[in-house]
Amino acid sequence: MADASPMNDAATVDAGLPDAGSPDTGPEDTGPVDTGPPPPDQDRDGIPDDEDPEPQRVNPPLLNDPFNENGDWIFSSVSMEIDQAQGVLTVDAIEPFEREGWIGPRGAWADYFIRSLIRVDEVGTSDDARSGHAGVIARVVQVTPSRYLTCGIDLKLGRVVLAAHEGTSRTVLAEAPSSAAPGTWLKLGFTALRNAFICEIGGVRVEGASALFDAGSVGFRSYDATFAADWIEVYEILP
Ligand SMILES: [Ca+2]
Ligand SMILES: [Ca+2]
């Protein structure tokens, strides 16, 4: 039976239009999708057990955006946009600059879990250590100058990186090798709980800690890389 939600497609491939209770028909799907039952979700909060930071405790939704409309997104550059027809948030031009998009301030969002599905297509030639990245930003206080955490993948150097950005300063909190290839859809999960963070992309998981930001919003960031994100969900982790 078909998945009821496009979010369950993370286990397979879903780059196209979201489900409407039937199998995917989007143009970018390359394999069989939605052929099985939804993944196990013991607490029925929408986060599959194998991704859920609290598999037996409900994590209430804060945001669920499949990028079917522009919504409230704020972009730092016209290079990042929501492609409503494809149902993705995307940067489709390689530029040696930071590109950011977010939903505006969320001063009350402290502990939460972000789920997304991202695909990095190409990276440029900038030798800046911060370049070649795409991923989510979290605990966002502001975007210009940057004050946030990043959970991203660097396809220049092949690694998943958790970092804290404050202005032009960037502190890598944790990183690990990734063998992900360009053009591959990757599940992304980010957990912020007090001062501890877990960033997992394409099955590569890193953990780090920082006291720089204790609450804030969410968004996406890229730097000298083209990418697409199929959707974003944010779930609260209750005290
Ligand atoms: Ca769950
Ligand atoms: Ca849960």
Distance in Å, CA 238 to ligand 2 centroid: 10
Backbone phi, then psi, for 64, in 5-degree steps? Answer: -145, 100
pLDDT confidence of residue 137: 98
Residues in the chain: 239
Token digits for 16? 């196209």
CA distances from 89 to 78, 97, 120, 205, 238 (A): 12, 17, 12, 23, 28
Distance in Å, CA 44 to ligand 1 centroid: 5
Token digits for 53? 């930071």
pLDDT confidence of residue 28: 54
Distance in Å, CA 150 to ligand 2 centroid: 23
Model's pTM, two decimal places? 0.86
Measure the CA–CA gap between 132 and 135, rounded to whole angstroms. Answer: 10
In sequence order, which residues have a C-beta less than 8 Å from that of residue 62 and are 6 or more positions away?
Answer: 106, 109, 112, 234, 235, 236
Distance in Å, CA 14 to ligand 1 centroid: 20
Q: Nearest bound ligand to CA 48?
A: 1
Distance in Å, CA 96 to ligand 1 centroid: 38
**Predicted confidence pLDDT, tens digits, the chain (239 residues):** 334 444 444 444 444 444 444 445 555 555 556 677 888 999 999 999 999 999 999 999 999 999 999 888 999 988 999 999 999 999 999 989 999 999 999 999 999 999 999 999 999 999 988 889 999 999 999 998 999 999 999 999 999 999 999 998 999 999 999 999 999 999 999 999 999 999 999 999 999 999 999 999 999 999 999 999 999 999 999 99
pLDDT confidence of residue 162: 98
pLDDT confidence of residue 221: 97
pLDDT confidence of residue 130: 84
Spans of all domains in the chain: 61-236
Q: What class, spelled out in words, does domain 61-236 have in CATH?
A: mainly beta
pLDDT confidence of residue 129: 85
DSSP 135: E
Q: Nearest bound ligand to CA 60?
A: 2
